[in-house]
Amino acid sequence: MHTYINKIGEHVGQTVTIKGWLHNRRSSGKIHFLVVRDGTGFLQVVMGKKDVDEATFQTADHLSQESAIIITGAVKAEERAMGGYEMVASGLEVVNEAHDYPITPKEHGVDYLMDRRHLWIRAERQTAILRVRHEIINAVRDFFNEQGFILADTPIFTPAACEGTTTLFPVEYFDNEKAFLTQSGQLYNEANAMALGRVYAFGPTFRAEKSKTRRHLTEFWMVEPEMAYADLNDVITLAEGLITSVVARVLDRRPKELKVLERNTSKLEAVKAPFPRLHYDAAAKILLDKGLPFQVGGDLGGTDETVLSEQFDRPVCVTHYPAAIKAFYMKPDPNEPDKALCVDVLAPEGYGEIIGGGQRLDDLDLLLQRIKEHNLPQEAFEWYLDLRRFGSVPHGGFGMGIERCVSWICGLEHVRETIPYPRMLYRIYP
């Protein structure tokens, strides 16, 4: 009977078959210890010389790393084994014998591993990260679905910029027309919200920033909720609910993966709502008091975000950035016209911004003015302006980058390990 390693505990005392790959092996004369993986987990298989015929025992003795095998044996509980179970082998079939597998148990440099990313993702640590990513994505979808939001995906090809043209990837469209890969689905999502009330888009986004920091990818996945009849407080409350729900889900369902990653889960267990809120001016004062060379009126840099987030044991919401440095669609605070009704949620432990959003500008005349100030072509935004002409209401939302969220929850040093095939400034292979 075939089964999967993650279901092996259901078959104690039974003889089953595992179809997978040889992760590694060691021998002690009359016994082989084979670690087999099948995509769902890793299992120790014990093959004794007395349990199989001589040919099978000799075959196992010469098998190389990542050979594809089908192995049969009895399952037993074993506290000392990974996962608490092991198999006593009675049969082995070699499907494909690998030779000279390039990623050995020895240390390899990051560039070497990234050039072989298609193989590196087979490693125990990398599969643990990708399972956590899967759990985070499912948790995000479940959160919004259970809250009554409607999934309404937005275009990847767009005719205009969402946040300025300097970080766009241009694409040749039909008849020599130029299109761009989307930076965000937000503008279209606002239209969706006017039709469906509460919506979310979930898909890949592209930023042509020439950044080499540990937090940046040029292609990443983002979930973007948008709500009609919502203000900044509604946006922050939704962000708190999403983050606490996702963290709790990973803690509950992926403890084995977090253990593989040696993640300090007590840091994650502290993530409870409400999150502290910090006005931009207060954040600037903290940075200046600590002697950082922060320019008041400018955006927060990576170091600034790290210093601020280290003041708290949970995410912190920084609000009311200067309107001059925010996107054209951000609504100014009526009480502080030079400040925007916006929020960045900074993850603790120095992981920086994972959510950015706020209340959208719902006044037609002011939106027209902001489009001109940003030197954007009004004709490209006529459809967007229609949302203010026909039934405009207060509304808001945010975007959460999946990879940054994975990086934080897994406790990774670099965002490149959070997606199977990262795209960065100098990397588009494999």
Pinpoint the alpha helices (H) of 41-183: 54-61, 110-115, 117-120, 124-146
CA pseudo-torsion sign 286, 289, 292, 293: positive
User: What is the model's pLDDT at position 165?
Assistant: 61
- Tens-level pLDDT at each residue, the chain (430 residues): 999 999 999 999 999 999 999 999 999 889 999 999 999 999 999 999 999 999 999 999 999 999 999 999 999 999 888 889 999 999 999 999 999 999 998 899 999 999 999 999 999 999 999 999 999 999 999 999 999 999 999 999 998 766 556 689 999 999 988 899 999 999 999 999 999 999 999 999 999 988 888 889 999 999 999 999 999 999 999 999 999 999 999 999 999 999 999 999 999 999 999 999 999 999 999 999 999 999 999 999 999 999 999 999 999 999 999 999 999 999 999 999 999 999 999 999 999 999 999 999 999 999 999 999 988 889 989 999 999 999 999 999 999 999 999 999 999 999 999 999 999 999 999 9
How many whole angstroms separate alpha carbon 135 and alpha carbon 382?
39
Distance of CA 270 to the CA centre of its chain: 20
Please report where in the chains the tokens 């990234």 appear, as a residue. 114
Residues of the chain with CATH 3.30.930.10: 117-418
How many whole angstroms separate alpha carbon 418 and alpha carbon 373?
37
Contact 317, 278 (CB under 8 A): yes
Whether the bond between 430 and the residue before it is cis, its omega within 30 degrees of 0, is yes
- 2: three-class secondary structure by DSSP: strand
User: What is the model's pLDDT at position 354?
Assistant: 97
User: What is the model's pLDDT at position 162?
Assistant: 60
How many whole angstroms separate alpha carbon 104 and alpha carbon 73?
27
User: What is the model's pLDDT at position 363?
Assistant: 97
Contact 401, 218 (CB under 8 A): no
Residues of the chain with CATH 2.40.50.140: 5-96
Please state, as a whole number, how many other Cβ atoms lie within 10 Å of the Cβ of residue 154: 22
Pick the CATH number of 117-418 from 3.30.930.10, 3.40.640.10, 3.40.1190.20, 3.30.565.10: 3.30.930.10
410: left (phi over 0), alpha (psi -120 to 50) or beta: alpha
How many whole angstroms separate alpha carbon 50 and alpha carbon 346?
59
Residue type, 417: E
CATH topology of domain 5-96: OB fold (Dihydrolipoamide Acetyltransferase, E2P) (2.40.50)
User: What is the model's pLDDT at position 212?
Assistant: 84
pTM, to two decimals:
0.96
User: What is the model's pLDDT at position 390?
Assistant: 98
